[in-house]
């Protein structure tokens, strides 16, 4: 789930570690992975007395015969399976380090620890318990979290700068999104207009059985399992078409067919179930301070993403493992120095489908809804991951709405 940042936990890059030390390069001799050496020792007693070499990873014995798997074979298999992801992780971190060296930017251990404490305090969870949750729910141990998540993020923040301005209009918009009224709806999501037209005709004629048509026509499995129920839609949710339609509906009313914003072949039909009543109605100083801090964090994350993309474009990377060169030029093929062909790697499939791809509504949260989701700086996949937070937990905040 965390890509190479989780898999390669032993590596800890130091300044200048991007350079290759003489004699440190691993042998590129073709691997015999999966073909363990087999020899006949005659008897189990002889097998038990066989001398173990320092390179032996395992010995398997059966009926007087034994097979030995060397550590070099294990290493070669690990590289074949995971090498690309691990190397991408190392390249990304080295890129950040070089940029920090150029600008004399240093991220201290004290700063890393302070940031971890700050994040834990947002959840009102003791630090040790927070780190234990990361280990249990995300598979990240404390050292990985410090070195592969927090350090790169702090370094990129310093590279991006911290001169962030927040306008009164932005605060007002954020207040409406977080604390304003919302529309409770059920949804049918279709992947073609003809199917949507059929679903709409049936739902319009028989709105009392809207749940039945959700099961018959909707392609969104998450909401389908809840008879089409989705999180209440706030203003400024990031889906203007859906938002405008929802706020025009009266309870029990079925909407027209709405095409999703920036999504071809995705059509939505909504049924209004009512509206929420805001609990917080006044933008007082405390709420304003909370929203201003939230907006600043969102803007910093956006800047971090832009800085990291810029660094990758400006930094030349000759990746001999996969045979490509990037940075300052269009990607091209390169040859390995040992004249061997680039090692083929298998992509690791995702463990679960990305439900967000089909979900047009992103629920409002303490981090906002319209901001860009930023993946960890050292991640090598395209998955949007929020590794600073334990799974299924968000910072506590005051209630925003009640239903009516």
Judge whether residue 375 has pLDDT over 90. no
Residue 18: pLDDT over 70: no
Structural domain includes residue 191 = yes
Higher pLDDT, 366 or 270: 270
| Residue 404 pLDDT | 52
The pLDDT tens digits for 35-58 are: 445 444 455 445 444 566 778 889
| Most confidently predicted of 3-12, 205-214, 232-241 | 205-214
Closest CA to 211 of 274, 271, 267: 271
Q: Are residues 33 and 178 in the same domain?
A: no
Residues 120 and 179 in one domain: no
Model pLDDT, residue 51: 60
Residue 380 predicted with pLDDT over 50: no
- Residue 230 to residue 363: CA distance in whole angstroms: 9
Q: Is the dihedral of CA 105, 106, 110, 115 positive or negative?
A: positive
Whole-number pLDDT of residue 8: 38
- Written as six digits, the tokens of 65 are 């015969």
Look at the chain and report how many structural domains it folds into: 2
Rounded to the nearest angstrom, the gap between the alpha carbon of residue 32 and the centroid of all alpha carbons in its chain is: 35
326 in a structural domain: no
* 142 Cβ contact partners less than 8 Å away, ≥ 6 residues apart: 131, 134, 135
Tokens read off for 185: 């709806």
> Does 128 lie in the same domain as 14?
yes
Look at phi and psi of residue 392 and say left if phi exceeds 0, alpha if psi is from -120 to 50, else beta.
left
Range 225-238 average pLDDT: 93
Look up the pTM and report it. Answer: 0.56
Distance of CA 48 to the CA centre of its chain: 48
- 67-101 confidence digits (pLDDT tens): 999 999 999 999 999 999 889 989 999 999 999 99
- Write the pLDDT tens digit of every residue in 137-153: 988 899 989 988 999 99
**According to the model, what pLDDT value does residue 400 have?**
60
DSSP three-state, residue 277:
strand
Q: What is the pLDDT of residue 327?
A: 86
Residues 378 and 397: their CA atoms lie apart, in Å, by 30
Q: Are residues 199 and 125 in the same domain?
A: no
- pLDDT of amino acid 41: 47
Domain edge (last residue) among 262, 278, 294: 278
CATH classification at residue 239? 3.10.50.40
Quote the percentage of the chain above a pLDDT of 90: 52
**Domain boundaries, position 180:** 171-278
The yes-or-no verdict on residue 255 having pLDDT over 90 is yes
How far, in Å, CA of 226 to CA of 383, rounded?
A: 26
Among 278, 303, 319, which residue terminates a domain? 278
Residues 187 and 269 in one domain: yes
Which of 94, 128, 160 marks a domain boundary?
160
Specify the range with the lowest mean pLDDT, choosing from 46-50, 96-100, 103-107, 126-130: 46-50
Please compute Rg for the chain using Cα positions. Answer: 27
């Amino acid at each position: 789930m965390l890509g190479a940042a989780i898999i390669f936990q032993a590596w800890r890059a130091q300044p200048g570690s991007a350079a290759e030390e003489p004699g440190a390069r691993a042998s590129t001799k073709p691997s015999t992975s999966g073909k363990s050496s087999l020899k006949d020792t005659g008897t189990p007693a002889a097998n038990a007395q066989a001398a173990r070499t320092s390179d032996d990873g395992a010995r398997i014995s059966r009926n007087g015969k034994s097979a030995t798997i060397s550590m070099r074979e294990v290493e070669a298999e690990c590289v074949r399976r995971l090498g690309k992801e691990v190397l991408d992780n190392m390249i990304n971190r080295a890129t950040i380090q070089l940029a920090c060296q150029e600008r004399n930017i240093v991220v201290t251990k004290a700063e890393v620890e302070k940031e971890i404490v700050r994040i834990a305090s947002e959840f009102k969870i003791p630090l040790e318990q927070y780190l234990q949750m990361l280990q249990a729910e995300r598979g990240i141990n404390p050292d990985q979290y410090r070195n592969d998540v927090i350090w790169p993020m702090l370094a990129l923040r310093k590279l991006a700068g911290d001169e962030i301005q927040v306008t009164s209009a932005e605060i007002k918009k954020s207040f409406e999104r977080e604390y304003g009224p919302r529309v409770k709806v059920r949804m049918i999501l279709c992947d073609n207009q003809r199917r949507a037209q059929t679903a709409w005709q049936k739902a319009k004629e028989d709105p009392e059985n809207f749940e039945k048509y959700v099961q018959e026509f909707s392609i969104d499995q998450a909401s389908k399992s809840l008879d089409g129920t989705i999180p209440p839609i706030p203003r400024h949710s990031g889906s203007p078409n859906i938002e405008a339609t929802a706020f025009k509906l009266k309870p029990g009313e079925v909407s027209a067919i709405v095409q999703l914003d920036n999504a071809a072949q995705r059509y939505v039909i909504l049924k209004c179930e009512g509206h929420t009543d805001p609990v917080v109605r006044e933008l007082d100083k405390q709420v304003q301070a909370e929203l201003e801090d939230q907006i600043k964090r969102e803007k910093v994350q956006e800047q971090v993403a832009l800085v990291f993309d810029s660094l990758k474009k400006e930094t030349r990377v000759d990746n001999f493992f996969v045979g490509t060169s990037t940075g300052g030029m269009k990607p091209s093929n390169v040859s390995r120095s040992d004249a061997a062909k680039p090692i083929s790697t298998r992509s690791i499939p995702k463990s679960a489908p990305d439900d967000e791809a089909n979900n047009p509504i992103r629920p409002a949260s303490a981090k906002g809804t319209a901001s860009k989701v930023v993946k960890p700086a050292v991640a090598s996949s395209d998955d949007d991951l929020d590794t600073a937070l334990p799974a299924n937990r968000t910072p506590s905040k005051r209630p925003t709405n009640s239903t009516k």
